Amino acid sequence: MNLLSYPIIYKDKFGEEKAKITTFGTTLHIKLRDTRFEGQCFETLEISEFDNQENDKFEWEKCQDSSKILTNFEIKVKFQIQLAIEHNQQMEEMIAQISTGNEKGTNVFLELKTDFGDFKNTKNYDSFEDALLEIQSLLPQNTKIKTCVSCKFSNYHPIGNGMFGGLYCFKKLAHQVDKIVDKRSLLHCFDKEFAKDEEKQKIFNVQETFDCLDHRFPKKSNWTYKNWIE
């Protein structure tokens, strides 16, 4: 996987600053006010193992395991995402306006900018999946968002997911994907694979906006635990 970098504008009660997110498609890495953060979701950003110092220039939410995650902030991210148009592909810019925390609520608002028009959400959503689904519904016929959320090899876990980054990729189990036909068979696959050694685990987190060479759009016969419809 290639390392991707997205420019951001971060804002909280302590101020506003420009920074960038780097990711290989699984974990977000952000450096803010000389402090490194990482997490699979914007709602679960915590201090990286490389930065153990406390920092009083952020707001924190304490978790049950005594760890602390970043909270009560707004962030504007400029993603690059793939579109499939007929038999061609092109990269376009998608701007995400995100807020998280008890004070601000969990919200995402997307705007896709293309050379054939701009497409934006009509309201705030609490998940990237739903926000992307509305953008897809606004696009011209034969134009599809080509990212992990629209791939036949991705599934959410039935116990639930957060705003972003809660997808799981099954491409290393491609031969089993067509055998997943309902929630029960999906849970069986999760239980079987997560019971293995972490280094040998074949299911892993991916981000809704990410894409790879193994992407395949689902067919009507494919069953997935998500709202994306072919």
Query: For the segment 15-43, what is each residue's pLDDT rounded down to a tens digit?
Result: 999 999 999 999 999 999 989 999 999 99
How many angstroms separate the CA atoms of 211 and 186, rounded?
22
Per residue in 152-185, pLDDT (tens digit) is: 999 999 988 889 999 999 999 988 888 899 999 9
How many angstroms separate the CA atoms of 142 and 116, rounded?
13
pLDDT at 219 over 70: yes
How many angstroms separate the CA atoms of 73 and 19, rounded?
14
How many angstroms separate the CA atoms of 53 and 36, rounded?
10
Q: Which two tokens stand for residue 173?
A: 């189990």
> pLDDT grade, residue 53 (50/70/90)?
low
Task: Enumerate the β-bridge partners of residue 29.
Answer: 22, 38
H or E element in which residue 62 lies: strand 60-62
> What does DSSP assign to residue 150?
G
- What integer is the mean pLDDT of 202-208? 92
Termini Cα distance of the chain: 26
Per residue in 73-125, pLDDT (tens digit) is: 999 999 999 999 988 999 999 999 999 988 778 899 999 999 999 999 999 99
Contacts of 42 (CB under 8 A, 6+ apart): 28, 75, 98, 100, 163, 164, 165
What's the predicted TM-score (pTM) here? Answer: 0.92
> pLDDT grade, residue 52 (50/70/90)?
low
> pLDDT grade, residue 198 (50/70/90)?
low
| Per-residue confidence (pLDDT) for residue 168, from 0 to 100 | 95
Three-class SS of residue 196?
coil
